[in-house]
Amino acid sequence: MSKAKINVLLVVASPPGSSRLMSDSEVRTIQESIELSRGRNQVNIIIRPAATIRDLSRALMNIPFDVVHISGHGYNTGLVLADEQGGMFLVKQDTLAELLSEYKSSLQCVILNACYSATQGALIAQEIPFTVMMDGPLTDKAAIKFSEGFYDALGAGRSIEFAFREGLRRIKFESSTLRLPRLIKQGEASLIEENTDRNITTRLSERIQLSAGKALIGLAIDLSGSMETSIHNKNGEDISRLEEVQRSLKDLMNNACESLRDNQTKNIQTYIDVFAYGFGLRTMPVCDLLSLMKASREVITKELTREVTEQYKREVEKTYGEFKGLASALQRLGFKGVIDAVSEFGKRQGETVVRRRVINKVKAQLEERLQKIGDITLSLEEVAEMWEEQGEILAHAKELIFGNTPIKEVLSAITGRFEREVQIRDKDTHLILLLVSDGKFTDIDPHPLLEKLRAMGVTIISCFLSDQDYTRQRVLVNAPEPHWSQDATLMFEIASTRNNDWEIFDSLLHDGWMIHPQAKLFVQLNHSEVLKEFVQIVLGPLEASDTERMLPRGW
């Protein structure tokens, strides 16, 4: 490298709310390496802590940098930076590569120490002479040693390649880490291979990975009339809010069960128990849903369903026989489409009538059985199995559900349930509540009960289902917005605040969410995909750490 002054931009991409990756000692190490070198006057270093994409763009415009060193969290889809409100969001790989390519006339080297930076590095290396990246985890100590060696050599006037090799040597002197930084020269990006470890890592990143620990999860699901309303989805299906909630919870439980099975093979002790309440039923304000599923399995037998179905068929035989005569005439006139539509409608109506008659026939028996069963708390695996077999009872039992929304009763039941449960559980058990509702509560102020839950250490996750269309659905905020409805504001206030808690937001950031500092665990939505993504944070308190997951987000 020439004797001209070398400009280095050090971007610390650790927004407030994420775990701090480049500590003060690492920054100090880089500064000291340059200050102690014989060429210290030839190296100018500028540091941008908690940088936003705008900070990075402005810095590049003002000074022709030779080296850009970015340290932060990353995914296979991009790098996490701060937004203008100090929150976290994901900058897509091609966006960052495009930005850096604008300055290829001066840039000699880009250093990326973030998870999945091999893919990002390959994009940048198309335009930049040298790119340093990581394709595996590196400890803080090893990261400091690499930076020490790299900037010692840079300050001594050595080449980028020599500085890179010196950084590797410093790591090797201190540890026997299996993964080391890699250097990509311009034009070599196509030679990067996705090895077996990387493929395994990518697959693991697509599902929940749980650490050792214990959790008790309470589910509170709104079963009031508004839950019959359709929810938007990418397939254009006519699906109700309740059906989509069931699907999302089913996916969550199946995903978690897969992780639990993995943990068992590794002798990692993870225990998750679940209880569930439905509220807003017509015949009762609050119901233990697991008890309802158990009771329905015992009371609503195949024989009973068959008996009611046969009776209904006999009732419609006369009508259907008359319809067949009309159908023949219509078919001769070319109205086959009308006939098919009427037949399909009749089939759907028949299923609805049968379900209603079954529930009406056993309603008293079902409610009596519910009282005898009482509360049920099961392991997550048992709930997943029951949900698979009996989950449709919620969508079918319309004579029992879809009433009003009594928030006082459900929070009273949940508060009492947590109080009883914590008496028989270890103190280190994570207590989690997922509340799914339209927020149209019909009774008194819920805040006193919420304070009791918070005092017990319950993390409350609040999902507000709305009729409105949102252009910015994937955002977790720290304050209600002026245009929100009273229902939305109340659901926001119910939610817990999480700060500096990276793991609980991990899956959301990966899916492209924006997370403000001290964000509430609250979202308002009207789309099935957003619902599926949001409920994943239910298991956030048990998410495995970076080391456990083998998913590095930086040095």
Q: What is the pLDDT of residues 352-362, one digit of tens each?
A: 565 566 666 66
Third-level CATH fold of 6-203: Rossmann fold (3.40.50)
Topology match between the domains 6-203 and 214-280+402-549: yes
3-state secondary structure of 260: helix
Q: What is the pLDDT of residues 65-121, one digit of tens each?
A: 999 998 777 666 677 777 766 677 778 778 888 899 999 999 999 998 766 566 777
pTM: 0.72
C-alpha dihedral (222, 227, 233, 238), degrees to nearest 10:
150
Other residues' Cβ atoms within 10 Å of the Cβ of residue 392: 15
Per the prediction, the chain carries an average pLDDT of: 77
Q: What is the pLDDT of residues 143-181, one digit of tens each?
A: 788 889 999 999 999 999 999 999 999 988 876 655 688
More confident residue, 547 or 133: 133
C-alpha dihedral (542, 543, 544, 546), degrees to nearest 10:
-140
Average pLDDT value for residue range 429-448: 82
- Do residues 156 and 114 lie in contact, with contact meaning Cβ atoms separated by under 8 Å? no
- Do residues 431 and 216 lie in contact, with contact meaning Cβ atoms separated by under 8 Å? yes
- Mention every residue, 6+ apart, whose C-beta is less than 8 A from residue 208: 252, 255, 256, 258, 259, 507, 536, 539, 543
Q: What is the pLDDT of residues 318-351, one digit of tens each?
A: 555 544 554 454 454 444 444 454 444 445 455 5
Q: What is the pLDDT of residues 187-214, one digit of tens each?
A: 775 545 443 334 333 333 455 788 899 9
Other residues' Cβ atoms within 10 Å of the Cβ of residue 75: 22
Residue ranges per structural domain of the chain: 6-203, 214-280+402-549
Question: Parallel, antiparallel, or unpaired: how do β-strands 109-113 and 519-520 relate?
Answer: unpaired
- For the chain, how many helices (H) and strands (E)? 19, 20
| Confidence (pLDDT) at 243 | 84
User: Which superfamily does 214-280+402-549 belong to?
Assistant: von Willebrand factor, type A domain (3.40.50.410)
